[in-house]
């Protein structure tokens, strides 16, 4: 009997799974039929050998820009079997953002959905490195075609089936834990997207942490709707299930209305659901049989404190809160053998990582209970990112003083639990006080008329100083006056945290994984629709006195 699959790298896991349980179902796309482990392995071999025939070298970047599909999944696995580096690009990219990641990766081969092909043709003038474009579906354009955009000279645009090679055996390109497996572009807040270089050892640990943290087994059915250009669904859900021999249900997008019907229909036992999406599921009309769904646990980052225990009771499941990021995997998990600790993202997996809480300005370690920046380093080689691709200056800045600086603020309590507070770059500084947007948002969400809230700092009349702006989405049919909301906030928050500005909006800008895009909100600043308590003549002292009276 060989080593456990959690100790192996992705190509070895796929090969072993096909050999040991090849007839078992590996995954099923929503609306599609089941695909066995053996079928997935054969399809990946065909892609891998096709790439070798195209001249793709070991360690060469190959791009995938596509929605979740069986072919996109086969392409990812095939790139890895060919010894290549998979670069999955956000399908929302276009223009200069797309130009940047394609130029940065220097990929000569791109897999792409037909609908997205015009986007790369529009920026072809600077893509001198691109040679072969493999289209998943739809009409294939040819150089000089009358209809549609003209394919640039030097490009070969072909259908997916045209490039497949030998499906019988994988390419002879073994990899080690130190070899790059994937480059994942993180959305930049102060600059262009950065390509996180993830070696095979890191990807394997990513999946292993998911297996251990969520107690995945061969009996589990994992629901993964997160795009393949993000790491969580791909490495925890899909690769983690591959390690255990479980089954994966793959969707193309998240829908709060469809989540419950689909987990019931497909017998889903476990799912990864980001915090805002948890709230959207909870907001669906309650049914008497909600607790009879097959799901026994969800992995959430975060698991919203406001509804965490009520969510567990309503759906009869366990919530497992975590903290992680692409660069470092998921080093903090709610322990399986301890009850939910609401408001905490869990404990450090100390067998794999060293973590400290430090002063962001000095890197000096801070005592228990004090808020600081999370810095981290691995205890095992090749289990964290190897830098930002072709961005050595950014890499050095992030790895200063021999620790990776996450940019997240946390504190550790006396029991060893970690508590997320805010992003360093999203920290609001007002009158020499550091303010957590999370605390303001949490207070706002206590009001029954508030459905969603986002707090940001906007420049005040003083240099280097902020005033607080709070953006609110109200519950459908509900209304609340700014003065009334401030009155409640004044009783929940220190005076320096009470917002000066309030703006009611219909939607908050979010990333594909549901995170509020705070940079976009900060850039908007004060708009004509923003209510200003100073202009309205409302004082915090009067609000407090009124509420206490």
pLDDT score, position 264:
97
Residue 93 — pLDDT band, cuts 50, 70, 90?
Answer: confident
Is pLDDT of 144 > 50? no
Which tens digit of pLDDT belongs to each residue from 269-292?
A: 999 998 888 988 999 999 999 999
Burial of 271 (0-12, 13-18, 19+ CB in 10 A): buried
Distance CA 87, CA 365 (A): 36
pLDDT score, position 464:
66
Distance CA 391, CA 399 (A): 12
Please say whether the structural domain 254-423 has been given the CATH code 3.40.50.300: no
Is pLDDT of 547 > 80? no
Q: Give 516 or 13, the one with higher predicted confidence.
A: 13
Residue 533 — pLDDT band, cuts 50, 70, 90?
Answer: very high
What is the per-residue burial (b if ≥16 Cβ within 10 Å, else e) of 165-189? bebeebbebebebebbbbbbbbbee
Residue 148 — pLDDT band, cuts 50, 70, 90?
Answer: low
The neighbour count for residue 434, using CB atoms within 10 Å, is: 15
CB 66 within 8 A of CB 286: no
Q: Identify whether 302 is preceded by a cis peptide bond (ω within 30 of 0).
A: yes
pLDDT above 70 as % of the chain: 94
Helix 10-21 with 37-53: angle, nearest 10 deg: 140
* Contacting residues for 371 by C-beta, under 8 A, at least 6 apart: 357, 409, 410, 411, 421, 434, 436
Which tens digit of pLDDT belongs to each residue from 254-274?
A: 999 999 999 999 999 999 998
Average pLDDT, rounded, for the chain = 91
Domain boundaries, the chain: 5-197, 254-423, 428-548
Tokens 């702006």 correspond to 469
pLDDT score, position 544:
62
**Are the folds of 5-197 and 428-548 the same?**
no
Q: Phi and psi (nearest 5°) for 480?
A: -150, 135
Residue 140 — pLDDT band, cuts 50, 70, 90?
Answer: low
Is pLDDT of 146 > 60? no
Residue 463 — pLDDT band, cuts 50, 70, 90?
Answer: low
Give the architecture (CATH level 2) of 5-197.
Answer: 3-Layer(aba) Sandwich (3.40)
CB 87 within 8 A of CB 63: yes
CB 519 within 8 A of CB 535: no
Residue 421 — pLDDT band, cuts 50, 70, 90?
Answer: confident
Is pLDDT of 188 > 80? no
CATH pick for 428-548 out of 3.30.300.30, 3.90.226.10, 3.40.50.620, 3.90.230.10: 3.30.300.30
Is pLDDT of 190 > 70? no
Q: Give 544 or 414, the one with higher predicted confidence.
A: 414
Per DSSP, 536 falls in state T
Average pLDDT on 35-57 reads: 98
CB 547 within 8 A of CB 491: yes
Helix (H) or strand (E) holding 196: strand 194-199
pLDDT score, position 189:
43
Average pLDDT on 221-245 reads: 95
Helix (H) or strand (E) holding 482: helix 482-492
């Amino acid at each position: 009997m060989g080593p456990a699959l959690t100790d192996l790298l992705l190509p070895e896991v796929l090969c072993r799974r096909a050999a040991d349980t090849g007839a078992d179902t590996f995954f099923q796309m929503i609306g599609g039929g089941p695909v066995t482990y053996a079928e997935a392995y054969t399809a990946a071999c065909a892609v891998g050998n096709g790439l070798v025939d195209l001249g793709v070298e070991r360690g060469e970047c190959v791009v995938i820009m596509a929605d979740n599909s069986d072919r996109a999944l086969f392409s990812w696995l095939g790139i890895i079997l060919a010894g290549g580096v998979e670069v999955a690009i956000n399908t929302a990219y276009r223009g200069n953002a797309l130009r940047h990641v394609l130029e940065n990766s220097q990929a000569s081969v791109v897999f792409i959905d037909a609908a997205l092909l015009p986007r790369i043709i529009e920026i072809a003038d600077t893509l001198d490195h691109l040679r072969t474009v493999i289209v998943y579906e739809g009409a294939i354009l040819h150089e000089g075609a009358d209809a549609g955009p003209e394919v640039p000279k030097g490009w070969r645009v072909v259908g997916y089936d045209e490039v497949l090679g030998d499906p019988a055996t994988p390419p002879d390109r073994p990899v080690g834990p130190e070899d790059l497996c994937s480059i994942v572009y993180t959305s930049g807040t102060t600059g262009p997207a950065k390509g996180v270089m993830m070696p095979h050892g890191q990807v394997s640990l990513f999946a292993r942490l998911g297996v251990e943290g969520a107690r995945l087994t061969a009996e589990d059915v994992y629901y993964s709707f997160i795009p393949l250009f993000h790491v969580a669904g791909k490495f925890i859900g899909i690769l983690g299930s591959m390690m255990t021999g479980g089954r994966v249900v793959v969707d193309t997008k998240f829908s709060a209305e469809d989540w419950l019907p689909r987990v019931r229909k497909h017998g889903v036992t476990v799912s990864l659901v980001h915090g805002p999406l948890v709230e959207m599921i909870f907001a669906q009309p309650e049914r008497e049989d909600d607790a009879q769904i097959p799901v026994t646990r969800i992995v959430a980052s975060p698991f919203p404190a406001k509804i965490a225990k009520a969510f567990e009771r309503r759906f009869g499941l366990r919530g497992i809160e975590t903290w992680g990021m692409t660069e470092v995997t998921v080093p903090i998990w709610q322990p399986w053998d301890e009850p939910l600790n609401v408001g905490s993202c869990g404990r450090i997996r100390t067998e794999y990582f060293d973590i400290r809480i430090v002063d962001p300005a000095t890197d000096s370690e801070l005592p228990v209970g004090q808020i600081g920046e999370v810095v981290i380093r691995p205890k095992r080689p090749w289990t964290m990112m190897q830098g930002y691709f072709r961005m050595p200056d950014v890499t050095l800045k992030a790895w200063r003083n021999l620790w990776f600086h996450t940019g997240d603020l946390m504190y550790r309590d006396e029991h060893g639990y970690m508590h997320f507070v805010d992003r360093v770059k999203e920290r609001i500084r007002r009158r020499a006080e550091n303010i957590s947007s999370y605390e303001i948002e949490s207070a706002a969400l206590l009001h029954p008329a508030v459905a969603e809230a986002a707090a940001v700092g906007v420049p005040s009349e003083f240099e280097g100083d902020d005033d607080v702006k709070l953006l609110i989405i109200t519950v459908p049919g509900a209304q609340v006056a700014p003065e009334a909301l401030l009155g409640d906030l004044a009783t929940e928050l220190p005076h320096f945290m009470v917002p000066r500005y309030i703006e009611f909006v219909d939607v908050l800008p979010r990333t594909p994984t549901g995170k509020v895009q705070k940079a976009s909100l900060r850039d908007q600043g004060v708009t004509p629709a923003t209510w200003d308590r100073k202009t309205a003549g409302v004082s915090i002292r009067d609000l407090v006195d009124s509420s206490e009276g």
